[in-house]
Structure 1
Amino acid sequence: MAEVTLRNITRRFGETLALDGVSMTVPDGAFVVLLGPTGAGKTTTLRLISGLDAPDGGEISIGGRDVTNLTPAQRNVAMVFQQYSLYPHMTVRENLAFPLKSPLLSTPADEIARKVGRVAEMLQISHKLDNKATALSGGEMQRVSIGRALVRDPAAYLMDEPLSSLDAKLRADLRVELKAIQSEARATFLYVTHDQIEAMTMATHVGVLEQGRLVQFGTPREVYEAPVSIYAASRLGLPRINILPADLFGTAPPGARWIGLRPEQIRQGEGQDSEVVRVERLGDQTRLHLRFRNQDLVTVTDPHTELQAGQTLKISPRNPYYFDADGARAL
């Protein structure tokens, strides 16, 4: 495995600046999740690292080697796309074995069989090995697509929302499996997702992209507990952080325009009266939708709460975040 470094990477598509001077170091053996909405530059970043696209400026190195001008094959990375990238005329076994038959790898037949068998068992598709790819369900095809990357031993794995098309149970199972694989192999992963649970549970580091700029990079806890902006704070956490006028609960610090309150930063049972608008029972927790001084906010409470819509609940802020008029962290 290897460290992946981006130095001042820029990429344009016509008049659109897709990446704007992005610099980032993915430590050897790290599991880095890239977060941001559509158009933030997440997939473009993966394509540049893989060599499927070329930057307009900057340098990319993998394992200390400058790969900016190398072909994808020369970079020794494995990429999993959001859409299935399988050969429809081949069986599952042949699809999984195909990357290992590359002249660059020259993998012995018995080693190919061993790796294919191990990955197939891990992804719960051993019983499908002799099926044609066209005979698989969408979830099975995506598992084979992931397996084609896992059979290799690349310098880095690049994954573009690989679990998004799977059902909830399989997605949860594979989330655990992928993290276990990464930890056991000490592999370097760059992983794109919109799923905050995946980011919080799988990542060792999170990179928050906004309109082609890397606005924050750190551990999931760092990004969650010390966001640099409203935008970064909104990337992690369910329910999402409440952004309200800074003086809603009283005097605000100088320069503060907004107050940010995650659910656990709303103290219940003391403070000022709010109205319970809706009680959303989710089993392991209950979300409270509140109305306070004509502002809506959401918090969580005991799953067995007896609160009902229309009742009054006293609330107050606890260690809130403050942001300036531009959304940058003020305090």
Structure 2
Amino acid sequence: MAEVVLKDVTKRFGADVALDNVSMTVPDGSFVVLLGPTGAGKTTTLRMISGLDKPDSGEILIGGQSMAGLTPAQRNVAMVFQQYSLYPHLTVRENLEFPLKSPLLKTPADEIARKIKEVAEVLQISHKLDNKATALSGGEMQRVSIGRALVRTPAIYLMDEPLSSLDAKLRADLRIELKRIQSNSGATLLYVTHDQIEAMTMATHVGVLDRGKLVQFGSPREIYENPVSIYAASRLGQPRVNILPASLFGGAPGNADKIGLRPEQIVQGEGEDSLVTRVEHLGDQTRLHLSFKSHDLVTVTDAHTELSEGDTVKIRPEKPFYFDALGDRIA
């Protein structure tokens, strides 16, 4: 595995700037997740590293070597696309074997068989090995697509929302398995997702992208607890951070325009009255939807709360985030 470095990488598609002077280091052996909405530049970043697209300026290094002029095959990366990229005329086993039979790898037959067996068991597709790819469900095809990357030992795994088409249980199972595989193997993995649960549970580092700019890079806990902006704060956390006028509560800095409150930053039972407008029982916790001075906010409370719609609960902020008029965090 290898460290991957982007230095001042810019990519344009006509008048649109997909990546804007992005510098980022994916440490050797790390699990880095890129977060951001559609159009933020997440997939473009993967394509730059893989060699499928070339940057207009800047440099990409894998293992300390510049990738300028190298083809995707020469970069030794394994990429899993959001769409199923399988050979439909081949069986599952043949699809999994395909990258290992590359003349560049020259993998021995017994090693191929061992890797196929191991990956098939992890992805729960052992019983499908002799099926044609066209006979699989969508979720099974995506598992085979992931497996075709996992059988290799590349410099870096690049994954573009690989779990998005799977059902909830399998998605949860594969989150655990992917993290286990990455941790045990020491693999370097760069993973694109919209799912903040995937980011919080799997990532060693998170990169928050906004319209082609990398706005924050750090551990999931760091970004959750110390976001640099409203945008970064909104990328992680369920329920989402509440963004309200700073004047709603006392004690705000003079240049504060907005206050940000995560559930644990809202103390209940003290402060000013708020109206309970909705109660959502989720098993291990209960979400409270509140109206406070005509502003809506969401927090959590005890799973067995007896609060109901129409009740009143006192609240006050504790160690909130403050943001200026541009949405940047005020220290």
TM normalised by structure 1 equals 0.99
Q: Which amino acid in 1 is paired with 2:102?
A: S
Alignment of 1:94-243 (within 5 A): 94-243=94-243
The match for 2:15 is 15
- Displacement of 1:14 in angstroms is 0.3
- 3-state SS of 2:143 partner: helix
Unaligned 5+ runs, structure 1: none
2:73 and 2:206 map into 1 onto residues whose CA distance is 27
The match for 1:91 is 91
- 3-state SS of 2:86 partner: coil
Q: Which amino acid in 2 is paired with 1:239?
A: P
The match for 1:82 is 82
- Displacement of 1:251 in angstroms is 3.6
Q: Which amino acid in 2 is paired with 1:194?
A: H
- Displacement of 1:16 in angstroms is 0.1
Q: Which amino acid in 1 is paired with 2:92?
A: V
1:68 and 1:201 map into 2 onto residues whose CA distance is 34
2:50 and 2:136 map into 1 onto residues whose CA distance is 28
Q: Which amino acid in 2 is paired with 1:209?
A: L
The match for 1:53 is 53
1:111 and 1:30 map into 2 onto residues whose CA distance is 26
Unaligned 5+ runs, structure 2: none
The one-character-per-residue Cα deviations of 1:9-58 (angstroms, maximum 9, x if unpaired) are 00000000000000000100000000000000000000000000000000
The match for 1:278 is 278
The one-character-per-residue Cα deviations of 1:255-290 (angstroms, maximum 9, x if unpaired) are 110000001100000000000000011111100000
2:188 and 2:42 map into 1 onto residues whose CA distance is 17
- Displacement of 1:68 in angstroms is 2.6
1:302 and 1:69 map into 2 onto residues whose CA distance is 58
1:138 and 1:235 map into 2 onto residues whose CA distance is 28
Alignment of 1:243-262 (within 5 A): 243-262=243-262
Q: Which amino acid in 2 is paired with 1:157?
A: Y
- Displacement of 1:111 in angstroms is 1.0
1:218 and 1:322 map into 2 onto residues whose CA distance is 20
- 3-state SS of 1:233 partner: helix
Q: Which amino acid in 2 is paired with 1:55?
A: P
Q: Which amino acid in 2 is paired with 1:149?
A: A
- 3-state SS of 1:199 partner: helix
Q: Which amino acid in 1 is paired with 2:29?
A: G
1:329 and 1:250 map into 2 onto residues whose CA distance is 18
- 3-state SS of 1:247 partner: helix
1:253 and 1:283 map into 2 onto residues whose CA distance is 38
**Pair 1:317-2:317 in alignment:** yes
- Displacement of 1:199 in angstroms is 0.2
2:34 and 2:252 map into 1 onto residues whose CA distance is 33
2:271 and 2:254 map into 1 onto residues whose CA distance is 22
- Displacement of 1:108 in angstroms is 1.1
1:160 and 1:292 map into 2 onto residues whose CA distance is 40
2:291 and 2:96 map into 1 onto residues whose CA distance is 54
RMSD: 0.5
- Displacement of 1:252 in angstroms is 1.5
Runs (4+) of structure 1 exceeding 2 A deviation are none
147-156 or 108-117, larger mean C-alpha shift: 108-117
1:145 and 1:281 map into 2 onto residues whose CA distance is 37
- Displacement of 1:311 in angstroms is 0.6
Q: Which amino acid in 1 is paired with 2:301?
A: T
Q: Which amino acid in 1 is paired with 2:130?
A: D
1:308 and 1:254 map into 2 onto residues whose CA distance is 37
- 3-state SS of 1:18 partner: strand
